[in-house]
Structures are given as structure tokens and as C-alpha cells.
Structure 1
């Protein structure tokens, strides 16, 4: 836990150790553990040197208010609150505390039905024409899995050779360590088979990662994000109208969801494909291309008085 204030680590050493043990027993990924610990240490700095047994809802509200003052939006504040709920829950389950003040604190209301950022079909085509470098085929396969199978960066990172089935489907380990099966289209399955043949040989025989770095290790999350960011930057150079769009690897997943909605995929099936725990998360994509709304408005077009144009 380098990089954190020494006084905080020393004062809350027992609680942080218990939290770490609990997270490992929950089977959380390393990146989730690190994110939860970062949020928790930020909170502990705000209450130091108060003992956790003496904290209550007021401490939670002060911390969240401080986060807002420092520029955190509702989404970031809710994420920090989720981290703290897990932190206090771990201490209760480890018989160290009796009350979870974070569970008593309501999350911020989010702006609903926010339109997600995504790429159009022709922009995706230009994206794949923008892939460069020595490991072009590997990188193309990574971006294809995000744009045409909806995988998250972490899911691409965790993908193993054995997760690609002879049938052409992939077994994906998603958020909350939940598995889902995605039957890939035949062209995408063929590309994965080719990528497997050209896979870099790992340094260790026990390494089963599907995507391997030039150093023979599992390709890191940071490197996968870099591959996407650099390719998206080249796309922006080709398409000036994208200059103001905040594009990232996750926007490729948005593009996949948008494509599915436009193709007539029902919301429940899309939820399964994306691995969303709640269908409310999936519903943001229904507002991207709602033909029913357009049809309803077209129904009244002949009722608008004529001759109003200048």
C-alpha cells in the first residue's frame, strides 16, 4: 500500500488489513481492491484520528460534501460511497465493528437517461484502419472484442486461452466475478483463431492469457487502454468532427450496445450480453435510436399548420 500517508496506514492498520483480507476472500480483482483501498484511505484522511467505532453518518456526509467541494461529481461520489459500504461491511463481518454508517447514507441521485458517447458504423471502420504497429493483429483483435462483443477492458485483460471455446463462443469473467457466455459471430471467431495462432509465446508455461505482451506476460489493463487511446487519437485526426468527443476504450462498448439496439436486440438480451447486474444500466441505450419515438412524432406531422415557414 505504498503511496498512502504513513500516519493513516499506522493508525488504521488493523482495519485496513481486515479489509484487504475480506476483499481477497470475496474474490475481488486486484484493480477493484486498489480502487476500494484508495477511496477508503481518502475517507480515513478526512476523519483522522477519529476511531472508526466512533464514526457515524455525519462523518460520511462531511466526507461526501468535501468530495463535492473538490470537484467530484455524483458518479464519483457514489463510487466512493460504495467503497466505504464495503469497507464497513468487511469490519462488521470480521467482528471488528457493529454499525455501517455508509449503509445508512443515501447515494446521490444521478441524471437519468444520459445519452452515452459512441461511434457510428463508418467511424468504427475508420478506427480499424487506424491500427498500427508491430502487434497490429493482436491489437485489432482486442479492439474488435470491445467494439463487436462489448467486452470491458478488464474482461479483455482476464481472457484466457481456454475461455475461447471450439464452438466459437467466449466465456467472459465480468464484474462481481460473474461469468457470461458470448456466442461470437463467425467472422469474429475466425479472427480470434488467427490471433491465437499468432499469440506471443509467454515466458512462463503456466501463463494462459489470451493476450500476451512483448515481454511474455499477460497484457496489462493499462496497456490495453493505451492501445485503445492511441488508436482513437489517430481516428480523431482522420475525423475532425470527433475532436470534441470524449473517446476512450469504454466508448467502444457503448458502440456495441448502440449497434445491438439499432439491430433490434431486446433490452433483456442486451443486458445479458453486456453483463449488467441491473437492467436500469442497460436502459440508457434505448434512447440512442428509438424508432418508436420517431414514429410517434411522425404521426402528427400532417397536423402541423402549413404555410408557417418564412
Structure 2
């Protein structure tokens, strides 16, 4: 890749617009870095051509150039980054069309069944959360698995976002959208305890609900580490789950799956997850082998055949 400063000389106004747009849109620091890296790669592929003159062919050519050894997930993430880049330019009136929207995402990934924990597995995994900050870590785990929060949303939670009287939390999610979520009574009790007993912040004005041992807002990476350590301990004792690739986001998958299996209207699940489109929620309407067996058990074949 060309040196970044060379690209900045030609496309600096656009890259600056993209940074500002992502920040005000509430993208996590990790996503911002990844999307900027993809944007620089795309700009280099234009070989000095003007961004607003690029067509669908340019986007596809860039995706193909990166496809060697990369799966559908990586391809779709790159496409999402380029789509966002053009959306930012349009918002700042630096472009009038988004050629990346004309490129379809990989169907293979969209049709892939989400990984999730069964309800008994989820309950069992909680027993492996231990240590000095057990209450805090359990609260984090429960927010992702029983309220469906993204790891970035947990990271951004403030004490003021939790209303213990109403039993709700205000979640600042994707697209800078606020979403009020009712909290189960048991979880509300845990959150109240965490809010009261949290570590004294390094900065007096810090309102973060989850604070690290150094007194700073718990980072996304630290939250992921808490989940990773819990999953490793859980899978060592539950071999049936050993092959599942578990992560913070898989807890969100679990939350959605449990609701739909319990008969909750998919439109309600969509709102709880903070999805912009019900099509995104549809990926959780998968069925498992036990449900298939139950369905087949309802069939009655003729006795005399």
C-alpha cells in the first residue's frame, strides 16, 4: 500500500470526512480503525482516479483483489466499510452516489446459521464467572445474554443509563440510536449492586457503570477478555460445547434465539436488538435438531401399510 500521507495528499478531505462521520455515528474505535484501513486500501486501488467517478466495477475489482484466502465474512465486512465510506461522502456532499450499494453481499454468510448457547448451557456457563470482580463480570455477561447488548453498548453504559425504579436501561447503539430495554428483575438487582459497589473511578466525573481495577471505563477488549476466559473454563468442563466458537456476540445470538424459540413476536425481538431491518433479525429464526424431532413426532403413519 502507498504510504498513507500520499493518499492523504489526494483524498485528505474525504478521509477526514469519513473519520468525522464514523465518530458522530457512534462506531467503536475498533470498527473505525478497520474501516479506515479498508478505505485507504480502496483509495489506493483507484490509482489516483476521483472517488465520485468510481463505478460498481471499481468496487468489485477491489473486493476481488482482496479475496485470495479471505472468506465471505471478510468480503462482506470490506464491502460494508466501502458502503459506509460513500455514505459519509454523500452526507458531507462530497459525492452523489454510492456504487458499493450496487454490489451484493455474499449469500453464503447471510445464510449461515448463527452460533448460540442452549438455555441450559448458558445457565451453566455463569458458574464459571469468578474472582474479585465477580458481580461486575456477571452483570456484563447477563446484559449480553439476557438483554442482547453488543459489547460496545456494554462498554458505553453509564450509571445514569440504568433506572432501578423503572427497571430499564437506556442503550446507546448503532446509528447513534437510543433504545430503552426492560431489565429482568434478577438482573436489575445485580446492576443495583454493581452501581453501588463499583470501583472508585480515577476521574471523579466518570459515570461509567463498569470500571476497571485502575479506575477507568472498562474497555471493549477487557470485556471480551472476561467473556473469553469464561468460555474457555466452561468448554473445558462441557465437551459438547467445545467446538462452538463462542464470543460476546454469540451471547447476543443466544438472547435472540431464546426469545424466538419461546414464541416472542419477531417484531418485538427486532426492537429489543435495535435492528434497523427485520431481515437482520430473521437470521435467528433457525431451528435445531430437537425441534425437528418434535415436529416429526407429531406425524402419525397408518398402522397397516
Which of 87, 90, 93 is the aligned partner of 2:88?
A: 90
Q: Is the 8 A contact 1:268 1:279 kept in 2?
A: yes
Q: What corresponds to 1:105 in structure 2?
A: 103
CA-CA distance at 1:115 after TM superposition: 2.4
Which residue number in structure 1 is paired with residue 59 of structure 2? 60
Tell me how far apart the structure 1 counterparts of residues 111 and 69 of structure 2 sit (CA, whole Å): 26
Determine the structure 2 residue equivalent to 1:128: 126
> In the TM superposition, what are the counterparts of 1:134-283 in structure 2 within 5 Å?
134-165=132-163, 166-283=165-282
- 1:69 partner SS: coil
Alpha carbons of structure 1 residues 27 and 151: separation in structure 2 relative to 1, 3 Å: closer
Aligned to 1:283, the other structure's residue is in SS state helix
SS in 2 for 1:33: helix
CA RMSD, aligned part only?
2.6
Farther off after superposition, 244-253 or 42-51: 42-51
2:36 alignment partner in structure 1: 37
Cα 1:239/1:29, change in 2 over 3 Å? closer
> More displaced, 203-212 or 283-292?
283-292
Gaps of 5+ in 1: none
Deviations 1:231-263 (A, max 9, x none): 101111111122211111111112212222232
1:218 alignment partner, SS class: coil
Aligned to 1:15: 14
With structure 1 as the length reference, what TM-score do the two structures score?
A: 0.87
* Displacement of 1:168: 1.3
Instruction: Output the TM-score relative to the length of structure 2.
Output: 0.88
C-alpha separation in 1, matches of 2:182 and 2:107: 36
The alpha-carbon deviation at position 112 of structure 1 amounts to: 5.0
Q: Deviations over 1:124-154 (max 9, x none)?
A: 2221111122212111110011111111111
Task: Report the alpha carbon displacement of residue 26 of structure 1 after superposing the two structures with TM.
Answer: 4.2
3-state SS in 1 of match to 2:100: coil
Moved more, 49-58 or 126-135: 49-58
Counterpart contact for 2:162–2:169, Cα < 8 Å: yes
Q: How many residues align?
A: 302
Q: Give the whole-Å Cα distance in 2 for the aligned partners of 1:187 and 1:27.
A: 30
Q: Deviations over 1:86-105 (max 9, x none)?
A: 22233344343444332333
User: Helix, strand or coil for the counterpart of 1:171?
Assistant: strand
Distance 2:248 2:302 in 1: 45
Give 1:77's aligned residue: 75
Between 295-304 and 162-171, report the one with greater CA deviation: 295-304
Whole-Å separation in 1 of the counterparts to 2:138 and 2:197: 12
Instruction: Please give the per-residue CA displacement for 1:259-293, whole angstroms capped at 9, x wherever unaligned.
Output: 22232212111111111111122222222359986
Change (3 A) 1:27 1:262: closer
The CA deviation string for residues 29-55 of structure 1, in whole angstroms up to 9 with x for no partner, is 444433321221222233334443553
Contact 2:28–2:152, Cα closer than 8 Å, also in 1: no
